[in-house]
Amino acid sequence: MAPPAPTPTSASSRPTGRAPIARLAWMLARPGAASPATVALPIVAFAVTTALLLIVLGGVLMFWQRTDENAPAFQMLSLLAIALLIVPLATLGGAAARLSARRRDDRLATLRLLGATTGTVTLVTVVESTALAFLGAIAGVVLYLVSMPLVGLIPFGGGPIGPTAIWTGPLAILGVVVGVALLAAVSSVVGLRAVVVSPLGVRLKQRAPHTSWVRLLVGAIIVAVAYATLSSLGVITDVAILVGALVGAFAASVAVLGLVGPFALSIFAKVRLRRAKTAEQLISARGILESPKAAWRLVGGVAMTSFVAVVAGTGTALLESFSAHSTSEALFIADIRTGVLITLVASFVMVACSVGVGQAAAVLDRRDLYVSLDRVGMPVSTMDTARVRSVMLPLLFVAIGSALLGALLVFPLAGLTLIMAPLSLLVIAICFVLGLALVRLSLLATRPILTNVLAHPERSLG
């Protein structure tokens, strides 16, 4: 008996293989599809990034609008401050763009395995990431406007700067919002390479970490060039070239920390793995080696702050060595001291935000690991101890290393005497203690997230 003839299907009823992009993005990002924290965390991080970026930009514009006799000095110092802060800001923004990447990659890899095209996956990713970034950026603008009166209480020139001193203008605000959204879009597309090339490997968590020794080589070359540049500042007579060389050398050196950090942590973790004698030590070392870049993102903020602390501490000691001969000179020195303090405070705000959000995201991204360890009988205290060790030990390692790098670059400018001055060492010590305390508190604050993950193992990130 012949098989029945196939029933003709109208063109309108045939599956096209393409779902509406906005609908897919909403299905993947809606709170019911995953833990609400995986959606809220990127928004919070983007909001903080936007607010801090606008505050820093407003401060720089404020100094460049001055016309008094001290204006050139403040303008140069504002560029130096932004050189020290722009990389931590970019790091925070990049971390915001990568938050919950494991959950997103898993879901997009599933779409690829079900037949979604590369174009569909790319559009879904861009729509989801850009939407979250835009919401966060709008919240950041509101946070910036609310904080303006508080920032206006900072004294400069003998009195408060005023609530409108750091107003950047609507065009700058629009540019920052668009820039944050573009950062999220670009980061999402770059992160799609593994999903597009090997969706099955992503879905099965087969991601071999890769940190190359080339990072160390490139970093060493950059540091050598920066040291040589700072050592030759005395022979430069042109002010513009002098400022450019100074700002460029410090900005490049801060960037080196992010370049070399993951490789240094991978070496550190391999040494700790060989010496591991307990379950906590083994899990913590393995946790770092699983993704040295992710481990660096958890401690990189403190590394940046340690570098800034050495520069700021030496600068503070240098200011104290000057004697004011008039009221204007005393006011000038006091203003510079205030600027140093603001730079340190801004750096610590970035650290607090990036560390807190990063620790929470790390727990969510390793949900499957913690659930598996819980099912085989490992106590929560052991998992938490391993989590603390995987952060605090690398933190000490990178904080000391970045402080030594800062001392190396400051040496040609100030000499060993000022670097080792009591006031300089006091500022550095306070920054170290505050940085370690911030990270430890963030670990303590995110423990409830770990216990909640174990209490609801049925909520899968995938």
Are 418 and 324 members of one domain?
yes
Q: Which of 104-113, 242-251, 380-389, 402-411 has the lowest mean pLDDT?
A: 104-113
**31 lies in a domain?**
no
Are 154 and 225 members of one domain?
no
Query: What average pLDDT does this structure show over 43-52?
Result: 83
Question: Distance (Å, rounded) from C-alpha 108 to C-alpha 433?
Answer: 42
What per-residue confidence (pLDDT) applies to 325? 63
**21 lies in a domain?**
no
152 in Cβ contact with 162 (< 8 Å) = yes
Provide the H-helix boundaries in 99-169.
Answer: 101-113, 118-151
- Note the residue count of the chain: 462
Q: Which of 35-39, 251-255, 358-362 has the lowest mean pLDDT?
A: 35-39
What per-residue confidence (pLDDT) applies to 461? 43
**7 lies in a domain?**
no
Average pLDDT score, the chain: 75
Which of 194, 220, 237 terminates a domain? The answer is 194
**265 lies in a domain?**
yes
What per-residue confidence (pLDDT) applies to 304? 76
Regarding predicted confidence, which is higher, 41 or 193? 41
Q: What is the crossing angle of helices 292-320 and 327-365, to 10°? A: 170
Query: Which residues fall within 8 angstroms of residue 95, CB to CB, at 6 or more apart?
Result: 45, 297, 354, 357, 358
Q: Which of 149-158, 185-194, 215-224, 374-383 has the lowest mean pLDDT?
A: 185-194
Cα 435 vs. chain centroid, distance in angstroms?
15
Regarding predicted confidence, which is higher, 301 or 109? 301
**Two tokens at 303?**
């590394």
**418 lies in a domain?**
yes
3-state secondary structure of 160: strand
Are 326 and 177 members of one domain?
no
Would the pLDDT of 147 be above 60?
A: yes
Are 228 and 118 members of one domain?
no
3-state secondary structure of 159: strand
Q: What is the DSSP letter of 2?
A: P
Query: Which residues fall within 8 angstroms of residue 296, CB to CB, at 6 or more apart?
Result: 258, 261, 262, 265, 398
Question: Distance (Å, rounded) from C-alpha 301 to C-alpha 440?
Answer: 13
Q: What is the DSSP letter of 5?
A: P
What per-residue confidence (pLDDT) applies to 200? 44
Q: pTM above 0.85?
A: no
**Two tokens at 90?**
């970019």
What per-residue confidence (pLDDT) applies to 462? 42
pLDDT tens, position by position, 249-298 = 888 887 888 888 888 888 888 888 888 888 778 888 887 887 787 778 77
User: Which of the four pLDDT bands, split at 50, 70 and 90, describes residue 420?
Assistant: confident
pLDDT above 90: percentage of residues in the chain:
4
Residue 388, number of CB atoms within 10 A of its CB: 17
R_g of the chain, CA atoms, integer Å: 25
Are 171 and 261 members of one domain?
no
Question: Distance (Å, rounded) from C-alpha 59 to C-alpha 54?
Answer: 8
What per-residue confidence (pLDDT) applies to 143? 93
78 in Cβ contact with 115 (< 8 Å) = no
Cα 331 vs. chain centroid, distance in angstroms?
35
Are 177 and 221 members of one domain?
no
User: Which of the four pLDDT bands, split at 50, 70 and 90, describes residue 323?
Assistant: low
**6 lies in a domain?**
no
Are 225 and 285 members of one domain?
yes
pLDDT above 70: percentage of residues in the chain:
75
pLDDT tens, position by position, 428-444 = 888 888 878 877 887 88
User: Which of the four pLDDT bands, split at 50, 70 and 90, describes residue 67?
Assistant: confident
363 in Cβ contact with 446 (< 8 Å) = yes
What per-residue confidence (pLDDT) applies to 275? 87
Angle at 72 between CA 67 and CA 74, to 5 degrees: 95
Domain that holds residue 66: 36-194
What per-residue confidence (pLDDT) applies to 448? 83
Residue 390 one-letter amino acid: S
Would the pLDDT of 205 be above 60?
A: no
3-state secondary structure of 156: strand
Are 332 and 430 members of one domain?
yes
Would the pLDDT of 340 be above 80?
A: no
What per-residue confidence (pLDDT) applies to 32? 47
Would the pLDDT of 85 be above 50?
A: yes
296 in Cβ contact with 364 (< 8 Å) = no
Most confident of 68-72, 135-139, 343-347: 135-139
Nearest to 187 by CA among 242, 129, 256: 129
Question: Distance (Å, rounded) from C-alpha 391 to C-alpha 301?
Answer: 12
Are 342 and 426 members of one domain?
yes
Which of 129, 160, 194 terminates a domain? The answer is 194
Most confident of 72-76, 370-374, 441-445, 458-462: 370-374
**203 lies in a domain?**
no
333 in Cβ contact with 319 (< 8 Å) = yes
Would the pLDDT of 12 be above 50?
A: no
Which of 194, 228, 263 terminates a domain? The answer is 194
Would the pLDDT of 149 be above 80?
A: yes
Residue 151 one-letter amino acid: V
What per-residue confidence (pLDDT) applies to 197? 44
Are 326 and 399 members of one domain?
yes
Are 416 and 339 members of one domain?
yes
Are 171 and 222 members of one domain?
no
What is the total count of domains within the chain? 2
User: Which of the four pLDDT bands, split at 50, 70 and 90, describes residue 174?
Assistant: very high
User: Which of the four pLDDT bands, split at 50, 70 and 90, describes residue 191?
Assistant: low
205 φψ region: left (φ > 0), alpha (ψ -120 to 50), beta (else)? left
**29 lies in a domain?**
no
